[in-house]
Amino acid sequence: SNDELGVDHRGSVGVGIGRYLIQDLGHELAISAGIQGVQERRQSCDDQEAARTDPRSERETCNDTELFFNLNWHLYSFQAKDMDISVTGNAYPSLSDWGRARGDLSLRLNWELFDSFFWTIRARTEIDNASDRSDPTRSRSDYSVTTGITWKY
């Protein structure tokens, strides 16, 4: 769920194909694409016949078909101090809600501070050009930044 984008629930099932463009020690680049069915609970489905109103939340259950495109870039090093950088981007152009496009971008940095203790930073942004169309005060994007210390054994 995402309050900023006006989505109470999102689930998807799909099929796709992918390929590593680079798969070397310390460097990976992969792409994938496919099709998926998505179910969301949001304020309005914009005249979808399959929409049903949820009486508890005044939200509608919307069923859509989307393409998906994924890019995953990963750099890592196992030297004196481990380092791990990962960037993942996804695009979801809709086939059933023409003109709608969603996407997200994630960045994860993981540095070893000292033996088995790591500092992790995660940043994520989500974009939806049709988020909660009935409420103009809603944003079309959302982001989060988290950080933490982890221990691996």
pLDDT tens for each residue of 80-95: 778 899 999 999 999 9
pLDDT band at 29 (very low <50, low <70, confident <90, very high): very high
Give the distance from CA 75 to its chain's centroid: 20
pLDDT reading at 102 higher than 70: yes
User: Is the C-alpha dihedral spanning 137, 142, 146, 152 positive or negative?
Assistant: positive
Q: Which residue matches tokens 């709608």?
A: 100
Pairwise CA distance, residues 8 & 103, whole Å: 17
- CA distances for 52 relative to 12, 43, 131, 133, 136, angstroms: 18, 11, 18, 17, 22
- The verdict on pTM exceeding 0.85 is no
The CA distance from 75 to 101, in Å, is 28
